[in-house]
Structure 1
């Protein structure tokens, strides 16, 4: 027993391992992960993983002595949690959905939303949630953490309050918001811009999903296991293509917009110059007020 424990504790953290022994059907045994390995595979921190486990968002791991072993089911659950967080769900809401699914309450709807039984478990987003104390949040946004801004961030799904801490849905969004506020843009304006971007992003997502459904699954009314496998393969291929199209179109749009802005600033007949010329036309030669047609008003002689 001592040799087994020593071997397990000395096992490298770099990759998941397979359970000893072949499966009955001769296939390779399922992979298992230690805590650090699972967190790395899911794109989250060990601290976040332990927090999810404390909140009972994950099933208990298999234990071998003092070592906890996780499997692909745990990895898919973590990816599903990240996907739901990116869609604006709170951790409390996700916990309720998981509880409903596991206890059979509205199991069909919960399973559909959670994707726990779907082959489409790989989320498009690769975001890492960030836990922040009130002091951390104030450090990111000095003098900007107002009740109005916090309410707007909650409404957007950027943050969720958990006890005395705030969980931000995305490290990258947090960094981008912090940088924009650091440039001098008020947090209120950043959040409003985020709301508008969310609306446009939803429209783009609708466009791509409708394109797939209308063109590639025209006659499909109910997805069979084979349809699910095919859809999963299609979405895997579509993921980089959709991101590429959006990235290129946004870059081209920014080029067009920046050029237009620069041209409007450099025109001699820009808005300010036109307004100044109009004001001058309404004055007489001596600088006095002009008449209705721009002519000097007489004294009645």
Structure 2
């Protein structure tokens, strides 16, 4: 359990749940963008990072005011590596995978990252897996199996279904590496400074990839104003705003409570996908989602 107990205030609860719901809009915005433009995943990701960049830069300036000790070479390498691995690679896998799977399934697979974090801590850092976590892992992977095979039977005509699913799994794994690594670096680096530099590193990775891939301003001009708006929505509504809200929620009610409340994310995505993208809701998906959410809540409950 956390060293300090937190009371779940109404303000903290509302900020956290709204932040979780806003995070869940990312897949919806990406799917709508793919459906209504000719934009590829890399261009959309570049737009997201471009409009997020000013906020990350402002965070760097705020971090400098904290007058912390300069980062060592090892710390710089850790921050940059985690930024590239956790947000550049993770987001790239996610956006490409969303071209081939539904938003509901994407969110469900992505929501496995807390279980991967438990496994990384167990196998790499030799942290014991307690009984509650073992039950949580069993529930979570059973749930994803039920939902996945239910979706596979519905979407069996999609030739890229398995490839898209694999990419989302890679996204969840790379993001869990970022979560585990950040948890070990933040105490010595500082949360604002770590987040700002990691995000700037991931932004540099996306820009470099976009340039080497032959991307340029003409790619953006072909689609006109709508393409720009998708980038703005992804950056503000689905990235920057929920990030600040979740950080505020952690300060008000603690990370354990935030982890539990954020389990609303997959449910929110499935409901939005049904009404906005016309994705079907089926029994296997409901059963699988319930098991995954219960499993992740158990992990959040026992998180140290």
Q: Counting helix residues as a fraction of each chain, which structure ranks higher?
A: 2
* TM-score for both structures, normalised by structure 2: 0.24
Higher relative contact order (CA 8 A, sep 6+): 2
Q: Counting strand residues as a fraction of each chain, which structure ranks higher?
A: 1
* TM-score for both structures, normalised by structure 1: 0.24
